[in-house]
Amino acid sequence: MVTPQKSQTLRDRTFMRLKQSIAGQESDGHAVFFYYTYPFYQSVTHVDLNAYFHDPKVTFDVQLEVLELLERCGSFAPDEGAVAECSALGASVIFDEHGFISVKPAELEELDDVLAIKPGDPYGDNYMRRALESLEYMLQHAPADLKVNPPVMHGPFTVAAQLRGISDMCMDILVEEDKAKALLEVCTETCIRFLKAAEKMMGGQLHHILVADDISSFLSPDQYREWVVPYYRMIFKEFPGVQRWLHNDASAEHLLDQIEEAGWDAWQYAPAIDSLKALERTQGKVSLMGGLNPVELQSLTEEETYNHCMEKLQYFGGKTKLVLAPGGSVNQVPIDNLKANLRAADTYKIG
């Protein structure tokens, strides 16, 4: 066991423990994981989201400002919301009254409509290209000691459901299987192209890929095996040796066995799922990032957050496959409460 030293930074110690968790190694404490997205950055900095989504320098400056407040603990990566892959497949990008970004489902009523879709071009006029532009800027300007991560990729089923509409996609797998399969295939190829472009920009090797795929939780275990896992495996085949991290903070307790079978190295799970039950059902093979409810953390004081985190760490029982994390985006969680989360995990010792 490599024990993080106090001479190291909090970031160093936090990432060492996460590395040990994923490797199945012993550690002196539990790792911490935060999932940052644009609503969180806006809540802290009040950035204009139009500038955030469309100007790589603004994205860079905002994220760096927030990470500095958290001793650089967290991911530094492009953030175009959940639209990059869909926009490359022809979906219209829309913004609500708060500037939040999403896509409008495409008109895909017939099989021929789906077959006419070409895989997305990561260098075309779309938000995959914008994400790559942000990635390039980050790589060029990041401090030497701050690692840049690739964009979050959205899972093929989630991309397909956004394009088709969630209820229509779920109906398609029941009554129009050919259309559902064709749509998933073009979405999967688009995801691969996106990651390949990021990989090339990052020097030819990704450390990990983080896949966001909440909508797949609408499926039953058998449907998940048929309509989700094979498409994950198509992606994994293209990136051998790359760690596989899943963000699915929807109600996925019924899919615990399938998530383990899919071969994930780490999974950020919903706060409603019991940590020890998830550990048992995933057979200790997956680092489980969760245990905290981000909505609850919004209203706690810093001291209450620290004590709550300590209670959760005690519940983990020294099992380092359990990573202390809010089970979802930390959108409205105060910075001081995130600091308390980090401080609790750094203070709590195993053994």
Q: What is the pLDDT of residues 280-318, one digit of tens each?
A: 999 999 999 999 999 999 999 999 999 999 999 999 999
Does residue 23 surpass a pLDDT of 80? yes
- Which of the four pLDDT bands, split at 50, 70 and 90, describes residue 205? confident
Does residue 30 surpass a pLDDT of 80? yes
Which helix (H) or strand (E) segment holds residue 17: the answer is: helix 10-23
Straight-line distance from the first to the last Cα atom of the chain, in angstroms, rounded to the nearest whole number: 12
**3-class SS at 236?**
helix
Which of 288, 291, 272 shows the shortest CA–CA distance to 280? 288
Q: What is the pLDDT of residue 238?
A: 96
Task: Write the DSSP symbol of residue 254.
Answer: G
Q: What is the pLDDT of residue 104?
A: 94
Does residue 28 surpass a pLDDT of 60? yes
> What is d(CA 281, CA 272) in angstroms, rounded to the nearest whole number?
15
Q: Which amino acid is at 266?
A: A
Does residue 332 surpass a pLDDT of 60? yes
- Which of the four pLDDT bands, split at 50, 70 and 90, describes residue 7? low
Q: What is the pLDDT of residue 204?
A: 87
Average pLDDT, the chain: 95
Q: What is the pLDDT of residue 351?
A: 77
Does residue 1 surpass a pLDDT of 70? no
Percent of the chain with pLDDT over 90: 95
Q: For 46-176, where are the alpha helices, taking DSSP H only?
A: 49-54, 56-69, 84-88, 111-115, 127-141, 156-164, 166-175
Span of 128-132, 188-192, 241-245, 347-351 with lowest mean pLDDT:
347-351
DSSP strand pairing (101-104 vs 322-326): unpaired
Q: Quick one: average pLDDT of 38-53?
A: 97
**3-class SS at 246?**
strand
**Torsion sign across C-alpha atoms 192, 255, 263, 76:** positive
Q: Quick one: average pLDDT of 28-32?
A: 96
∠ Cα 328 244 271 (to 5°): 20
Which of 264, 80, 88 shows the shortest CA–CA distance to 187? 88
DSSP strand pairing (322-326 vs 287-292): parallel
Does residue 5 surpass a pLDDT of 80? no
Parse the chain into domains and list their residue ranges: 1-35+280-351, 44-202
Residue 190's alpha-carbon distances to 128, 154, 175, in angstroms, are 10, 10, 25
Does residue 192 surpass a pLDDT of 80? yes
Task: Tell me the sheet residues that pair with 94.
Answer: 102
Q: What does pTM read for this prediction? A: 0.94
Q: What is the pLDDT of residues 92-105, one digit of tens each?
A: 999 999 999 999 99
Structure tokens belonging to residue 209? 């890929």
Phi and psi of 315, rounded to 5°? -65, -35
> What is d(CA 224, CA 220) in angstroms, rounded to the nearest whole number?
6
Fold exhibited by the domain 44-202 = TIM Barrel (3.20.20)
Structure tokens belonging to residue 151? 């964009």
Does residue 253 surpass a pLDDT of 70? yes
Q: What is the pLDDT of residues 67-83, one digit of tens each?
A: 999 999 999 999 999 99
Which helix (H) or strand (E) segment holds residue 298: the answer is: helix 294-299
Percent of the chain with pLDDT over 70: 98
Phi and psi of 205, rounded to 5°? -150, 125
Does residue 6 surpass a pLDDT of 80? no
Q: What is the pLDDT of residue 202?
A: 96
